[in-house]
Structure 1
Amino acid sequence: MSISENLQNIKSTLPSHVTLVAVSKTKPVSDLMEAYNAGQRIFGENKVQEMTEKWEQMPKDIEWHMIGHVQSNKVKYMIPYVKLIHGVDSLKLLKEINRLGIRWRKTVNCLLQVHIAEEETKFGLNEKELEEIIHYITTDETATNINVVGLMGMATFTDNQEQIRKEFLHLKSLFDDYQKTNPNFQILSMGMSGDYQLAIECGSNMVRVGSSIFGTR
């Protein structure tokens, strides 16, 4: 199956309210262009340098999403063009994005990454840290150039579907709670190649799919 065929197959199964982010990390520009020519316009990368190189080479109607862990010192390279930063996992990082947004006179769209998995290795905010960040964006008058538009999370890497479902539903309940007081909360990004259909059942409206489109890395 070609990249374009994989893409069409996946898109045909997605409900209309679900946005597909094609996770293109480590893939060559030629692969991304095959997806682009098949109609895909949203690509997700996990390294700022690689994303910037691809942005420079590719058509400018692409939405670039930063889906990986972001180091504060790399933020400056992507601010001019990034459409959505999925992995905001600290107040320090959010403040740095805001500072650079002010400098570039640009409001930067962000998702807050919540730690929902049982694995210790995954990045993300605990619920106390999440509350602190929500307090910052709603009360701090200096938070002018960030637009927090929702939450992102990754489930535990396991075959136990019930555990994955429980983690996704937990994130959905947090999203619903915060959406009541934050009307900007529109995006719930959860679900990858192995579990995106379950994530959609649990309320996700943005999925990050890589290997099912581009093949295994």
Structure 2
Amino acid sequence: MDNIEKNIRHILQNIQIAEVKRSPKGECPVQLIAVTKNHGVAAVEAAAAAGLTIVGENRVQEATEKQAQASANVKWHLIGHLQTNKAKQAVKLFDLIQSVDSWHLAEALNKAALTCGKRQDILLQVNIANEATKFGLPAEETMDMAQRVAATLPGLRLCGLMTIAPFVEDAEMVRPYFKEMKRLFLALKELALPGTDFRWLSMGMTNDYQVAVEEGANLIRVGTGIFGPRSYGVQGGL
């Protein structure tokens, strides 16, 4: 657990350095999300003990198991693909659902949120590189989707955008994608859509978070960089 605290300090220092390099500075301070996918509940507790306040999970079932055991006072974000048949569970579990990637899913979340009397915060996931292996809206469809959500789904509050950049050895190779995401984010923010709280741009993971922060990310999702390699034999894992 000492290594986890050390890793978090190192990442936070890197974030501070990256923030200095971006201009203008973001309105919201950068938040580090501890991605505990395939790590046990002890990882949640260790991240919270080190000062982190947000935990990211990829699947509903794993989050359900961990929330039942965890004592840490943290916010929970869903960062993985969500099937519509698990929308009701997701609304009950997560403070922010970052991976809304279709109108069908948005409708299911809206219905679930209205049923339980909750306004569910969401991000739209954008497939900024148009990768066939990744989920997400095409960039050119994102503005229309945002407007439809704001106008017709009162159970949802749109809070920004999320993307997963291509995995590459040299993080500089994905800088153009992060730049394009920031451009799209600002274009949507300028619309000032009623009922939205457009503040979060979630991009950047262990291998590219510094470049993401330099280009405007204020939510970054780090798992391996905090907890080390994942063990796929962990009970409740993926």
User: Could you tell me the TM-score, scaled by structure 2's length?
Assistant: 0.85
Residue equivalent to 1:205 = 218
Partner Cα separation in structure 1 for residue 172 and residue 205 of structure 2: 16
Q: Secondary structure at the match of 2:93?
A: coil
Amino acid at match of 1:13: N
In 1, are the aligned partners of 2:63 and 2:93 still within 8 Å (CA)? no
User: Could you tell me the TM-score, scaled by structure 1's length?
Assistant: 0.93
Using the TM superposition, name which of 131-140 and 62-71 deviates more. Answer: 131-140
Shift of 1:145: 1.1
Shift of 1:150: 0.2
Residue equivalent to 2:176 = 166
Partner Cα separation in structure 2 for residue 136 and residue 79 of structure 1: 20
Shift of 1:160: 4.4
Partner Cα separation in structure 2 for residue 83 and residue 91 of structure 1: 20
Q: How many corresponding residue pairs? A: 215
Partner Cα separation in structure 1 for residue 156 and residue 198 of structure 2: 13
Using the TM superposition, name which of 198-207 and 154-163 deviates more. Answer: 154-163
Unaligned residue ranges in structure 2 (runs of 5+): 17-27, 231-238
In 1, are the aligned partners of 2:200 and 2:219 still within 8 Å (CA)? yes
The correspondence for 1:48, drawn from 42, 60, 64, is 60
Amino acid at match of 2:104: K
Amino acid at match of 2:120: V
* Larger RCO (CA under 8 A, 6+ residues apart): 2
Aligned residues: CA RMSD = 1.6
Unaligned residue ranges in structure 1 (runs of 5+): none
Using the TM superposition, name which of 155-164 and 120-129 deviates more. Answer: 155-164
Q: 1:181 to 1:118 in 2, by over 3 A?
A: closer
In 2, are the aligned partners of 1:151 and 1:187 still within 8 Å (CA)? yes
Partner Cα separation in structure 2 for residue 184 and residue 190 of structure 1: 18
The correspondence for 1:135, drawn from 125, 144, 147, is 147
- Written as runs of structure 1 = structure 2, the 5 A alignment for 1:1-217 is 2-15=3-16, 17-59=29-71, 61-140=73-152, 143-182=153-192, 184-217=197-230
Q: Secondary structure at the match of 2:213?
A: helix
